[in-house]
Every structure is written in C-alpha cells, then in structure tokens.
Amino acid sequence: MNAEIIAIGSELLTPFRQDTNSLYLTEKLNDLGVEVVFKTIVGDSRTNLTQAATLAVSRADIVIFMGGLGPTEDDLTRESVADALGLELRRDPEIVAALERRFAERGWKMAANNNKQGDVIAGATVLPNANGTAPGQWISGKFEGKEKIVILLPGPPHELKALFDEQCMSRLQAKLPPQFIASRVLRIALMGESQCDARVAPIYKRYADVDTTILAAAGEIQLHLKTRAGSLAQAQERVDALVQEIEDELDDFVVSDNGDSLEQIVSYYLQMRNVTLAVAESCTGGLLAERLTSVSGSSRYFLGGAVVYSNELKTAFADVPAELIQQHGAVSREVAAALAEGIRKRCGASLGAGVTGVAGPTGGSPEKPVGLVFHALASGSGTEVIERKFPGDRKRIRWFASTQALDMIRRKLM
C-alpha cells in the first residue's frame, strides 16, 4: 500500500511557512508498512485542491489531506474532496449541536460560518477533534474500481497528531497486514560523515533487510536502523545484531545506542560516577554551560562556571596567572589547562573543563587561525588537553567546540 499526503493552505506556498506535519505522518505510515510516494502542497483554491484530490485518489491507495477544515471561506477541503470523489456533502446536525455547545460553554455565541464545519462527505466516518472545532473525516471504499482510504485531518499539529494517533492508526492497522518493526538510533560524536560511512557501510550492507539512514549534523551523526520481520522478536534480533557490529567497529565514538543525546549521556555518567563539574569557557561564551544545564536535574552535578571573555576575568574567576596569558597567549594549550584547573579548584568540583579558541570571523592570525580551539579537562589525577581546528562559521565553530568539550567529559567517565 502507498500513500499521498496533501498539505493545504496558501501560507504553505509563501517563503515563511512549511508543512512539517507530513514528517510525523510519514513516520507513522512507514511503521504500518505504508510508503509515501507523493507529497503535494496546494493553496486555498477550490479548483487546484479538487484537481490535486482527483489525481491523488487516482494514483495512491491512501490519501491524507491536512488543513482547510476550519470555518472560513478559505477552508475548502471538504467541498473539494467531495467533488473529487463524486460524493455529496451533508450537514450533520450532531456536529453543529456539539459546536454550539462548545461555544456556549465558553460563553460565546457561535457565528453562522461555523456551521460548515458540520458538513460531512456522504459515507464518511466523523473523527471527533478533542483539541479544536474542526472534526476529521474517514472515508473508505471503492473508487474507480479500487479500494481507497481517504482521510481529512485538521492542520494544527497538536490537533492532527492526537486525531491521527487515537482514531486513524487503529483503523489503518485493521486494513493492513500486521507489521513487526524494530528500530534503534545510534548517535556518534565528532566523526566525519564519509569517514563514518566508510567504516559502517561494509557492515550494514550485509543487513539488506535493515533500512539504514545516516543523518549528519555539525559534530554528530545519527544512524537510524529499522527492520521488519515475521515477528517482533525476529525484527529486534536483526536490529540488535547490526547495532552490536557497528558498536564493535566504531567503539567509543558511539555516544548512545538508544537515541539519547550527548548532553543526556554526560548527565547520566556524572550522576552514576557521583562526580561534580565546573567549566570556564572563553570562545564558546556560555554555550557549554547552556548545553550542560539544558538537561533537567543538572543542578545535581553541575556547580556552575565562568564565561571568561576578557583576560582579566580568566585570572579573576579561574586564577589563570596573567604571566601565563602573556607568555602563551589567551588561546593556548597552557591557558586551556589553567582554566580547567583553576575553575575546578575555585568551585570545589571533581572535574573542571576549560575552553579557549578563536570563534571568528575576526581575531584569527597565521599562528592562531579562526577555528583553532584548545579544550582541557582537569581532574584530581591530572589534566588532559585536546587541540582542534574546526571548519565553518562562528556558530558552527562554537557548536563543534562545545561538543568536543562534552565528549571529553563523556570519554573521561566511560
């Protein structure tokens, strides 16, 4: 079975707004064994919408319409789909009565244009919308000699998701062969996409039954693995076996094998090891602390830190000797180490992290170019320093640098 998703709304044809609902629906449909073969985005035009609906019903088994179910003149999905299917619209007095109650409960009088939200395509099942006024509709039957399923959903994401999950998934499942799907997400830090793929491709190519998707972002790769089999246990076994082989290959580059973020994993390790942390950051300007504290409960292990942009503050907050800065420069292996050691002592933390570098676009030199960053991690047993040269703009360099600092903490506690 395949599906076409149609997003409706003139705002989706401007430079400002984009359909994202279809990503959610695609994931759910894929889990049912349904492939999405077309997505269409159409404005609030009855002609264009009817044309798109007619075409979709002729070429896809399942057609899902999103949006255009509201009370205004621009909301034309009901009329257009009815036209495309050659069916009548009938006003359902129960829906109208429910709408009137909804308005009355809020102390409002319902405007007449809301009545059109009670229009139902002949033979459709009404899907009540707990989060809004516009109900969805479910139509299943033969059109042009073929079994088709047509679904009308409201456009606002929280209405669409709740309605689809609660009322469409089980109906679709009943129409489709059972699916036994297992999936896992591996997250890998600080490895290039091509380097990662070169190492894992020979492995996942041997698992032709597992879909492998590689998503790369700055400093992180996600491997999405998914398979279907005759039973859930079989599917899980196949995915788990592939995960194991990839983990053996990539070893400590693997941050998590259940989708957890680097920040979350660092949080687990710090709690598990009963370790506290303080940071002194220059070029990342607070980003490292921000990422550490983005995890709820981080006050249990993160004591705090200093954003030491000026040289004076490197001394005042992290006890970096002024002579050291003068001798080696603020961006240096020595100052990174002193930042980590200084902030650790000042905060009474088990671990201290220090970051100093050139985020750019200005401030670079031939010896210390934009992108050069020193990362230090100090503990009771000594201090390690990593030097990196990151590519990209200011934002990207700061992101890479904070990721590197987080990864040093992770590796230290592994």
CB of 334 vs its own copies, minimal distance in Å = 19
Q: What are the distances in angstroms from CA 164 to CA 161, 322, 339? A: 5, 62, 52
CB of 103 vs its own copies, minimal distance in Å = 18
Side chain identity, residue 313: L
Closest to its own copies by CB, 52 or 87: 52
Closest to its own copies by CB, 299 or 381: 299
CB 276 within 8 A of CB 301: yes
Closest to its own copies by CB, 102 or 345: 345
Closest to its own copies by CB, 330 or 385: 330
Q: Is 377 helix (H, G, I), strand (E, B) or coil?
A: strand
Residues 6 or more apart from 30 whose CB is under 8 A from it? 36, 226
DSSP 260: -
CB of 42 vs its own copies, minimal distance in Å = 6
Closest to its own copies by CB, 26 or 234: 26
Write out the two tokens for 94: 């129960």
Side chain identity, residue 383: T
Query: What is the binding site for its own copies (CB under 8 A)?
Result: 12-16, 18, 20, 23-24, 26-27, 30, 35-43, 45, 48, 51-52, 55, 59, 213, 215, 224, 279, 284-290, 292-294, 296-299, 302-310, 312-313, 316-317, 346-348, 360-363, 394-395, 398
CB of 345 vs its own copies, minimal distance in Å = 11
Closest to its own copies by CB, 140 or 293: 293
Angle at CA of residue 13, ends 7 and 18, nearest 5° = 60
CB 353 within 8 A of CB 279: yes
Q: Is 317 helix (H, G, I), strand (E, B) or coil?
A: helix
Residue with tokens 């320093």: 385
CB of 273 vs its own copies, minimal distance in Å = 18
Can you tell me the distance from the alpha carbon of 411 to that of 357, in angstroms, rounded to the nearest whole number? 21
Closest to its own copies by CB, 152 or 279: 279
Can you tell me the distance from the alpha carbon of 391 to that of 371, in angstroms, rounded to the nearest whole number? 6
Can you tell me the distance from the alpha carbon of 131 to that of 183, in angstroms, rounded to the nearest whole number? 30
CB 73 within 8 A of CB 38: no
CB 309 within 8 A of CB 357: no
CB of 323 vs its own copies, minimal distance in Å = 20
> Phi first, then psi: what are they for 393, rounded to 5°?
-90, 180
How many angstroms from the chain centroid is the CA of residue 260? 12
Can you tell me the distance from the alpha carbon of 414 to that of 409, in angstroms, rounded to the nearest whole number? 9
CB of 200 vs its own copies, minimal distance in Å = 17
CB of 290 vs its own copies, minimal distance in Å = 4
Closest to its own copies by CB, 232 or 313: 313
Closest to its own copies by CB, 54 or 140: 54
How many angstroms from the chain centroid is the CA of residue 221? 13
CB of 125 vs its own copies, minimal distance in Å = 26
